[in-house]
């Protein structure tokens, strides 16, 4: 007799996993890695931009999330010119950076 594994999706358990403290911690650590990398490649004209990265991890809607942002008032202009966050995402996704 052969064994045939079966899989049945349990939406409630999947949602619980996706919002779990462990998932939030994992995403928070990945975002922290991104923060460290973004700081390392940031332009240093005044140093303000490089030190203005924040990470927030938590749960929203039906899943865990982590947000990496730069709070410097001129962050959009730096991103347009240097693509710091874009390059950080590329690196986190394994596409270089």
23-72 per-position pLDDT tens digit = 999 999 999 999 999 999 999 998 899 999 999 999 998 899 999 999 99
> What does pTM read for this prediction?
0.84
Number of domains in the chain: 1
Q: Is 63 inside any structural domain?
A: yes
Instruction: Tell me if 38 is assigned to some domain.
Output: no
Is there a domain that residue 55 lies in? Answer: yes
Q: Supply the pLDDT for residue 96.
A: 73
Q: What is the pLDDT of residue 1?
A: 63
Alpha carbon distances (Å) from 49 to 24, 40, 42, 73, 90: 26, 11, 7, 9, 20
Residue 89: domain span: 46-96
Flag whether pLDDT at 85 surpasses 90: yes
Determine contact, residues 68/85, Cβ cutoff 8 Å: yes
Q: Is residue 3 part of a domain?
A: no
Indicate whether 53 belongs to any domain.
Answer: yes
Predicted confidence at residue 16, as pLDDT, reads 93
């Amino acid at each position: 007799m052969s064994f045939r594994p079966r899989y049945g999706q349990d939406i409630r358990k999947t949602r619980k996993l996706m919002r779990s403290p462990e998932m939030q911690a994992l995403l928070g650590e990945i975002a922290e890695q991104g923060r460290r990398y973004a700081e390392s490649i940031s332009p240093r004209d005044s140093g303000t931009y490089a030190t203005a990265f924040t990470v927030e991890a938590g749960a929203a809607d039906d899943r865990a999330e982590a947000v990496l942002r730069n709070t410097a008032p001129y962050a959009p202009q730096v991103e347009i010119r240097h693509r710091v966050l874009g390059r950080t995402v590329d690196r986190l996704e394994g596409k270089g950076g």
